[in-house]
Chain A
Amino acid sequence: MKFEWNIEKYVPTFSYGIFMVSLFTLSFLGFWGALLPLPAVLMTKLAQWLWGLALLGSTWAALTTGALGLELPSPCREVLWPLPAYLLVSAGCYALGTVGYRVATFHDCEDAARELQSQIQEARADLARRGMRF
């Protein structure tokens, strides 16, 4: 049974269009220009990240759906289509590893701890002298 999604016809053309526009801005304005098509005042960091994601996403979509008509070798296509999932998993692993590393290398400051304890004792004695009850 063949089920046809009509919108599928337009996805390659749409991503192809975005890819060409981004290529154009990249070549004329440089890398940061592609991330900042508007003056810096108008484009927030969120907008920059979303724009960057849109560029990369459309490039990936254009390449995986073959909209550019490039005949990529089979292993390259095999690597390309799971790429977003791969990048997400790698980012997650990096985050987990960084957290673990920071937990492992967190130093106890024994001198500072002792100093703090003695200061607490001082403060309690001082306040008790002035009549405060604990």
Chain B
Amino acid sequence: MGNQVVGLGLVAVSLIIFLYYTAWVILLPFIDSQHVIHKYFLPRAYAVAIPLAAGLLLLLFVGVFITYVMLKNQKGTKKAQ
């Protein structure tokens, strides 16, 4: 039960992100700049800046996690000695 909720939640999230991002990058340039829909989207530069920042943040978390695990193991073996 819980698995299905989590799974479908992931599918929904990925679908929403994909559709919003596709509209932002692919569809918006072809829509007249006076149209009201442009109000719902940030300036175009953010379409590259936000995923880039998110990717760097992900790398940061992965690096911090690896460092934490390595330090914990090191401390563990030192205590055993």
Chain A positions near chain B (C-beta within 8 angstroms)? 74-76, 78-79, 82-83, 85-86, 88-90, 93-94, 96-97, 99-106
Contacts and interface: CB of A to CB of B under 8 A. Distances in A.
Contacts of A103: 3-4, 6-7, 10
Contacts, number: 76
A93 B19 CA distance: 10
Contact of B7 (A75, A83, A85, A104): A104
A89 B14 contact: no
Interface in B39-80: 44, 47-48, 51-52, 55
Given A78-B29, A85-B52, A86-B25, A100 B14 contact: yes
Q: How large is the interface on B (under 10, 10 to 19, 20 to 34, 35 or more residues)?
A: 20 to 34
B25 A100 contact: no
A82 B44 contact: yes
Nearest to B15: A97
Nearest to B9: A100
A102 B14 CA distance: 14
A7 B67 CA distance: 37
